[in-house]
Amino acid sequence: MRSITILFIIFVNSITFGQQVFKKKKNLLGSPFEITVVATDSIQANVYTELAISEVKRIENLISDWIPTTQISKVNQNAGISPVKVDLEVFELVKRAINISKLTDGAFDISYASMDKIWKFDGSMKEMPTTESIKKSVEKVGYQNIVLNENDTSIFLKYPGMKLGLGGIGQGYIADKIKVLLQENGCTSGLVNVSGDINTWGKQPNGKDWTVGIVNPLNKNKVFATFPLNDSAVETSGSYEKYVTFNGKRYSHIIDPRTGYPASGIVSVSVFAKQTELADALATGIFVLGIEVGLDLVNQLKGIGCIIVDEKGAIHASKNIDIKKYQ
């Protein structure tokens, strides 16, 4: 589970022109889930929140690799054996994930689930894994070995033991789908938070944008910048609570799928985008790529912003974000 460095600052002006803010929290996908909607009354709000919860469950039963009956689980079970036909929705999601793998030079890779779990971040690990075991741990990882057939929307994993895990993009996808679903059903304003993958639409009843505060994970009691979200999304990946230290070097729980070594030097990455799905995947990729390469990538992408906090607490931002403006 990713750690979150976002605070929600929602100015609830309880009733404006008959509109009210309603919020519901649940534990879904094994993580915190929160839906905030603007509605005329609790009955309407409950319709919206139940639609959102049903959508989470629908998608979970398509793409979870923990539930053995999902389409993604069937793909994993047939790795190295045969292609598996999946719904167009699942096929297109995997296709977009592969495109982000290409964009990040493999720093984001949904076949990371094939990785051997040799790193422990629960305090039980007393020494570094061997170079040989680290190399072996990623032998089955590689988005290049995911074969997509456009003709029958089938997915084939070339080698036995390969697995897909959509956790690094799936939660963002769910947030985007909820937003669209609620808009189609008349909800003109809201905020959805799927374990830190946040998407917004419309405005609060007081006419203001939804707002998020970004926290430096090394000083959690202080918000260093507050950002308006105008029909847009943000996602934060962090390693400040899950890490190990060897020989004075800090190793995060976010593993580079290309090398098997944990990412280092960064404690959190926040990515701003129009789609939570894209922000979700890019945040992981940037974390692995590192500060310089990650920011260089973001600066080439239209409509994407990024804030990085390094292990010393210093804040780095993409060219399109002026931190001082939001402090």
**Res 240: pLDDT:** 60
Query: What span, in angstroms and rounded, lies between the C-alpha atoms of 25 and 33?
Result: 6
Name the residue ranges covered by the structural domains of the chain. 73-166
| Tokens standing for residue 267 | 């404690």
Phi, psi of 317 (to 5 degrees): -135, 150
Residue 35's beta-bridge partner residues? Answer: 24, 192
Q: Considering only the top CATH level, what class is 73-166?
A: mainly alpha
- Written as one letter, the residue type at 174 is I
| Digit-coded pLDDT (tens) for 212-221 | 988 877 776 6
- Written as one letter, the residue type at 220 is K
* Tens-level pLDDT at each residue, the chain (327 residues): 344 444 544 434 444 457 899 999 998 988 899 999 999 999 999 999 999 999 999 999 999 999 999 999 999 999 999 999 999 999 999 999 999 999 999 999 999 998 878 888 777 778 888 999 989 999 999 999 999 999 999 999 999 999 999 989 999 999 999 999 999 999 999 999 998 899 999 999 999 999 998 887 777 667 888 999 999 999 988 766 667 777 777 777 889 999 999 888 898 999 999 999 999 999 999 999 999 999 999 999 999 999 999 988 899 999 999 988 887
Closest residue by Cα to residue 32 from 74, 67, 1, 60: 1
Read off the pTM.
Answer: 0.91
| Tokens standing for residue 313 | 């607490």
